[in-house]
Every structure is written in C-alpha cells, then in structure tokens.
C-alpha cells in the first residue's frame, strides 16, 4: 500500500483599497424594519385579524428613510456583499470559476447596519427620494419609494486569495463590476430584469 503525503499550503491573503466614483445613480431599497414588523404581526395574528382592518395612510418620507442602510455609528452605507457578489458574477465574463471566486474574494466592512448587522461600505453623497411604479407579485400596481444617490463615491477594501488572483486581476474584476455588472437596484445584472443602468462606477485613477 502506497502512502501519500498531502501538503496543504497556508493561505496567503492580500488586500487593497479602491476609491470608486459613481458613473450613474446608485439606488437602494432595503426591507425596512416597519415592513418586518407588519409581516410579523400578520403572521402572529392570523388572517381573521386582517378582515375589516382599516388601511393606514402611507408615509412616503418614512419609507424613504427605511429604504436606506444606516450603520450603528450613524452613517449610510452600501451592503458590502453587493461588491463581493458583483465580482463573483463578473467572473462569468472572463471564464473564471465562480465557485473558486466565492472562496477567494471578500470585502472589508467599514461598519455594520444598526438593525440587522449587514456589513456596510460607507457611501459619500446625499440621498434623495426616488419613486417608481411597480407591480407586486399579485399584479397590483404600487409605488415603491427608494433612496437615490445621483453623485456618490466610496472606498472599497478588497481582500483576496493571492493563490487565485493578483492585484491586476482584482483591479480589473472590480472595474468590470463598475462597467458591466453594477450594484443596487436597477443594475444591469439585476436578477429580475435587464436593469436601468443604475449602480455603475469607475475606479479613480483608471
């Protein structure tokens, strides 16, 4: 019986910070805490409690505030997984295995959402309300209030497995996210549609 020795190399990770500049508006819509509470109330009270219940007037300003991620330190942010998922998705363009990218690319968070702990990258810019007409799953028309940043920027710290990527690979992959994939609502790589061209960006200095 032949005995084989398996040698596993220690992981070697590197990181770099990239400053990105928005090339198109970034639009955000999170599942608000109020919507969570309403859903929980309906689940605990059952269908009978809903019959004859008066419909509360909508507060669009409150919906706008609830559409954004807010860190425990009080600043607004972009979910860090948006960049990681975008880079993994961009691997399809260059024929790199997405399964390897999932284990090789990570985004360092600047902080965490005050409500659900989502890792966040701090966004620089001023948001404004953005209302769009949509159809719910039932086909009923609705107005959805989102937050839009027309002019925005961020500093994204990427950490990667040096056995899989080098600095040039990571730079080009993130650049492809900014030019082809996008982040947030209405991005070109949206699962629900072909997007609206939102969430595109360029790398400063490139």
**Domain limits of the chain?**
13-47+55-203
Instruction: For 87-108, write each residue's pLDDT tens digit.
Output: 999 999 999 999 999 999 999 9
Task: Give the chain's residues under pLDDT 70.
Answer: 1, 31-57, 59-60, 133, 135-137, 206
Q: What is the pLDDT, as a whole number, of residue 63? A: 84
Tell me whether strands 105-108 and 26-28 are parallel, antiparallel or unpaired: unpaired
Q: What is the pLDDT, as a whole number, of residue 61? A: 77
- Name the pTM for this structure: 0.84
Q: How many CB atoms lie within 10 A of CB 45?
A: 11
Q: What is the pLDDT, as a whole number, of residue 131? A: 84
Tell me whether strands 141-149 and 26-28 are parallel, antiparallel or unpaired: antiparallel
Q: What is the pLDDT, as a whole number, of residue 34? A: 47
């Amino acid at each position: 019986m032949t005995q084989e020795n398996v040698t596993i190399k220690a992981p070697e990770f590197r990181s770099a910070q990239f400053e990105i500049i928005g090339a198109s508006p970034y639009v955000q819509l999170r599942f608000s805490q109020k919507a969570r509470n309403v859903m929980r109330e309906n689940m605990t009270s059952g269908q009978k409690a809903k019959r004859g219940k008066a419909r509360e007037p909508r507060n669009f300003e409150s919906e706008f505030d609830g559409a954004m991620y807010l860190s425990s330190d009080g600043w607004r942010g972009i979910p860090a997984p948006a960049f990681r998922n975008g880079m993994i998705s961009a691997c399809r363009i260059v024929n790199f295995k997405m399964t390897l990218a999932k284990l090789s690319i990570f985004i360092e968070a600047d902080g965490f959402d005050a409500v659900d702990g989502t890792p966040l990258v701090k966004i620089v810019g001023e948001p404004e309300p953005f209302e769009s007409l949509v159809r719910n799953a039932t086909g009923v028309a609705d107005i959805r209030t989102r937050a839009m940043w027309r002019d925005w920027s961020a500093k994204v710290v990427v950490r990667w497995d040096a056995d899989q990527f080098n600095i040039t690979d990571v730079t080009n992959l993130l650049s492809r996210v900014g030019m082809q994939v996008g982040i947030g609502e209405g991005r070109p790589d949206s699962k629900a549609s072909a997007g609206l061209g939102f969430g595109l960006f360029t790398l400063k200095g490139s």
